A and B are shown apart, each in its own frame.
Chain A
């Protein structure tokens, strides 16, 4: 190579240019979405309503909302405006790296390390109105890895797609999957008692790890110069963080008896369960689970794919909701993630949810499960301007997403040629 340095510089420049392009999308500081039917989720439907957005946040929602003439105007006449959809159980953009299935306890796994941000599936669900997803570890493990929360800003760089400040979630699983994965290798666990024994053992070790660290810190604090810190162990540290309440615990769990076992184990070790995922038998014990303030992220009507899914009924979501459980409809699939509005509509068909209740299952309720309900999930002043605009009521079979905004910026526009994206360039 004759001019290695020149080439290096050229590369650097090229990289810098790429980064620059990715970092500076054509943002509009001020946007007015005008004259649409606004489905706020928290305070009903506003006819002929408008939303004023400034610096990525919702500043005003209602009839007669005005914006300075400099604001970009989106005419929503005849359209329906709702918050961006939140998918509280996704494995999108994780390629084949969903399951580290080499041990039933792998809480040190970070899904962020597997996040394949160029995966077009992020765009496919964006075009279905999804703006935020919780990317979970798979269900081969009693205690799986740490989730990552993304916003579907397709076309931007990896770090710009991470949901800033989202709380940490960790995935647990129970039932058939762990016992099948390890049982088929003649390893523990191969039964449900094995499952819970493995989980209990791990949490017990975490207690002891915490005790060792507490003892060391007490000695160090007392001025003991000989005090030696215990060896740091990423796995035990993550487990300890569960016991310290630093994670939202998201548990893959199907059967009624297992919800109760998981709840008693959480009581025994002093952590809280945020949500049961799948939860297809929740309708059998919904009152007991509701009493503990645990949510569910469930399918609308998927069933029968394994034994623990054979008692699934499409009325599960509404029956559980009526007993006080906070219910989210989630995708767990790159396909369903593209049409979660339709899955939510099934709550009307099966059990007679109101439109508001059905919409809440794909907006505010999943936002709560993910722990970002103070930021997204409804059209309220102060929230992130993550908004989807539809040509029909979003709970209709005939509804299509016209535009999607994230942090006040348009990322998808159906009327555009090509992919319909604003920040993505072919070959990127």
Chain B
């Protein structure tokens, strides 16, 4: 409502294009959301008391591993990181001995459907995507994100603390992603960045060709491309209507001759596309096959979209070209089965092959119930040639950079949000047990519906 009023005011005053207005609003909204939400007194006191993790091996991500390290968290932030003898421990701190443990930043999953589904086959629990039309950029996953989902505590148990929540992928433009933190009393607290990016799916799976009788456009890849091109042009035309109107209105004010011009009718669908057409926010471009990837990249160039690549699972022949674009890639899932003409390990090897060419990669589970298996995917990529260091980065710092939150997340560095994981071994090993998870400096109990069932029946 407030947004409506603001836009009308802007139009009447003729001071700026609608685009700028929208961007300002987004910036304001972001600033508001970034402010820590009010917390109950007890939680505040708990957070205020410093927590010290002492004696563990710290995988800092940005400056190597520190054996026998010390990490200090205060007021939800990391305040000190270093070797045992180099860090001053605050008075009255809660000191936790983590000797023999590995300490690392919370993992970031670059595509999930967390909070949008509870039981896959039960449609009443699903808010995965709006399939009434293939072009739905005005769908915001934050409107559906269910903070109390039983899936979220299950996700935390392997150290995933942040995730991109994306709509499912049957629409070419299914809506806009949000970036969440996996702890909080409400969705308000957990949604760190709303509308952080917009997926553009061009994998061939989006074609609406269920049957010739009930066929819906687009049935083909050319249909999908034409539809996308048209809607982008419509959005550009739409954006132009507002400065045009402002000019007309200003002219009319001068002599008041004829009818007073009326402002253009607002269109939320087209409006949603504008920040992306302006290159202010990234489009997550999903393609698997080389031909699809090239078409999608062509569209992106044509409309000057800011791109994060997604999947590229079967585009091995384009790896050098992908590297030349210098675009980051959300890679995987590496469990995608190979095509008949591909060797068994062609997809498993992708992260290593991309990293070797200098591409910034990030992992994603593309899952909801088993987002917890994210580190194992990275581990398997290591088996197929990715360095352990790169694999850890692709779960932490790389996604933090790709999603524009590297000042807050992605490494063990002073000043960052205290999302910290303590495990009894290598984070990427299947046998490793995560012992503690801290999110914004609060130790989150590793309890879930699943541990409760285990404890109830497992005696």
A residues neighboring B (CB under 8 Å): 120-121, 123-124, 127-128, 176, 283-284, 301-307, 309-315, 319, 334-335, 338-339, 342, 345-346, 348-349, 392, 395-400, 418-420
B116-135 contacts to A, CB under 8 A, are 118-122
With A and B bound together, what is the CA distance between A345 and B451 in angstroms? 19
Which of A176, A304, A319, A397 touches B382 (beta carbons < 8 Å)? Answer: A397
From the candidates A283, A338, A346, name the one contacting B344 in the complex (CB within 8 A). Answer: A338
Q: Is B376 an interface residue (CB 8 A)?
A: yes
Nearest CB in chain A: distance from B148 CB, A: 15
14 other contacts beyond A310-B119, A398-B429, with CB at 8 A cut-off? A123-B344, A124-B337, A301-B370, A301-B372, A304-B369, A305-B369, A306-B119, A307-B121, A312-B450, A335-B335, A342-B380, A396-B429, A398-B379, A420-B344
Q: Tell me, yes or no, whether B317 is within 8 Å of chain A by CB.
A: no
Whole-angstrom CA separation of A417 from B379 in the bound complex: 24
Decide if A306 touches B120 in the complex (CB within 8 Å).
yes
Q: Which residues of B contact A312 (CB under 8 A)?
A: 450
> Across the interface, do B151 and A311 meet the contact criterion of CB distance under 8 Å?
no
Contact of A419 with B383 in the complex, beta carbons under 8 Å: no
B437 CB, nearest partner CB in chain A, Å: 15
Which B346-385 residues have a C-beta within 8 angstroms of A?
368-370, 372-373, 376, 379-380, 382-384
Shortest beta-carbon contacts, A-B, top 3 = A397-B379, A345-B430, A306-B121
B119 touches A305 (CB 8 A): yes
Report how far A123 CA is from B453 CA in the complex, Å: 38
What are 13 A-B pairs with beta-carbon distances under 8 A? A120-B338, A176-B121, A303-B450, A307-B122, A313-B454, A338-B335, A348-B431, A396-B430, A397-B382, A397-B429, A397-B430, A399-B383, A419-B343
B454-A319 in contact (CB<8A): yes
B340 at interface, CB cutoff 8 A: yes
In angstroms, how far is the closest chain B Cβ from the Cβ of A235? 30
Contact of B453 with A311 in the complex, beta carbons under 8 Å: yes
Closest residue of chain A to B338, judged by CB? A124
| B454 and A315 within 8 A (CB) | yes
CB neighbours (8 Å) of A398 from chain B are 379, 382-383, 429
- Asked, given contacts A304-B118, A307-B119, A342-B380, whether A319 binds B430 with beta carbons under 8 Å apart, the answer is no
Q: How far is the CB of A175 from chain B (nearest CB, A)?
A: 12
> In the complex, how many residues of chain B place their beta carbon closer than 8 angstroms to a beta carbon of chain A?
38
Contact indicator A349/B430 (Cβ below 8 Å): yes
B contact residues vs A (CB 8 Å cutoff): 118-122, 150-151, 335, 337-338, 340, 343-345, 368-370, 372-373, 376, 379-380, 382-384, 426, 428-433, 450-451, 453-454, 457-458
Nearest neighbor of A285 in chain B, beta-carbon distance: B457
C-alpha spacing A310/B430, complex, angstroms: 23
How far does the Cβ of B452 sit from chain A's closest Cβ, in whole Å?
Answer: 9
| Contact A301–B454 (Cβ < 8 Å) | no
In the complex, the chain A residue whose C-beta lies closest to that of B373 is A301
Does B343 contact A418, Cβ atoms closer than 8 Å? yes
Tell me the minimal C-beta distance from B78 to chain A in angstroms.
Answer: 27
**Chain B contacts for A301, CB-based, 8 A:** 370, 372-373
A86→B288 CA distance, assembly (Å)? 32
By a CB distance below 8 angstroms, the chain A residues around B368 are 304
Residues of B with C-beta under 8 A to A302: 369-370
The answer to whether A420 touches B343 (Cβ under 8 A) is yes
User: Smallest CB-CB separation from A316: which chain B residue?
Assistant: B454
- Does A127 contact B340, Cβ atoms closer than 8 Å? no
Q: Is the interface of B mostly helix, strand, loop or mixed?
A: loop
Q: In the complex the two chains form, what is the Cα distance from A312 to B448 in whole Å?
A: 12
Chain B residues within 8 Å of A304, by CB: 118-120, 150-151, 368-369
Closest beta carbon of chain B to A232's beta carbon, Å: 40
Determine the residue in chain A with the shortest Cβ distance to B377.
A397
Closest A residue to B382 by beta carbon equals: A398
Residue contact B383 to A397, C-beta cutoff 8 Å:
yes
Whole-angstrom distance between the Cβ of B112 and the nearest chain A Cβ: 13
CB distance B370 to A345 under 8 Å? no
Q: Is A283 touching B457 in the complex (CB atoms < 8 A)?
A: yes
Residues of A within 8 A of B370 (CB): 301-303
B340 with A120: CB separation less than 8 A: yes
B335's closest neighbor in chain A, by CB? A335
Q: Can you name the residue of chain A whose Cβ is closest to the Cβ of B368?
A: A304
CB distance from A33 to the nearest CB of B (A): 22
Residues from chain A with Cβ under 8 Å of B426 in the complex: 397
Question: Are B337's CB and A335's CB within 8 A?
Answer: yes
Determine how close the nearest CB of chain B comes to the CB of A350; give it in whole angstroms: 9
Q: How far is the CB of B457 from chain A (nearest CB, A)?
A: 5
Look across to chain A and name the residue whose beta carbon is closest to the beta carbon of B120: A305
B222 → A minimal CB distance (Å): 28
Q: What residues of chain A lie closer than 8 Å to B369, measured between beta carbons?
A: 302-305
Contact across chains for B119 and A346 when beta carbons are under 8 A apart: no
Q: Which of B150, B340, B345, B450 has the largest number of chain A CB atoms within 10 A?
A: B450
B430 touches A283 (CB 8 A): no
Could you tell me if B454 and A349 are in contact, using CB atoms closer than 8 angstroms? no
Q: Which residue of A lies closest to B336 (CB)?
A: A335
A305 vs B122: C-alpha distance in the bound complex, in angstroms? 8
A298→B181 CA distance, assembly (Å): 32
Q: Could you say which residues of chain B place their CB within 8 Å of the CB of A346?
A: 430
Looking at the assembled complex, report how far the CB atom of B87 sits from the nearest CB atom of chain A, in whole angstroms: 31
**A395/B118 in contact, CB under 8 A:** no
CB distance from A333 to the nearest CB of B (A): 10
Name the residue of chain B whose CB is nearest to the CB of A313: B450
Would A283 and B454 count as touching, CB distance under 8 A? yes
Which residue of chain B has the shortest Cβ distance to A418 in the bound complex? Answer: B343
Closest A residue, CB atoms, query B340: A120
Residue numbers in B under 8 Å from A342 (CB-CB): 376, 380, 430
Give the CA-CA distance A310 to B433 in the complex, in Å: 23
Q: A124-B344, A319-B457 are in contact. Are A397 and B119 (CB under 8 A)?
A: no
B458 touches A315 (CB 8 A): yes
- Give the docked Cα–Cα distance between A418 and B338 (Å): 13
In the complex, chain B residues whose CB is within 8 Å of the CB of A120:
338, 340
Q: A121-B337, A301-B370, A397-B383 are in contact. Are A306 and B457 (CB under 8 A)?
A: no
In angstroms, Cα B370 to Cα A378, docked, is 31
Nearest-neighbour CB distance to chain B for A290, whole angstroms, equals 14
Q: Which residue of B lies closest to A336 (CB)?
A: B335
- Bound-state CA distance A418–B432 (Å) is 34
> Contacts of B338 on A, CB cut-off 8 Å?
120, 124
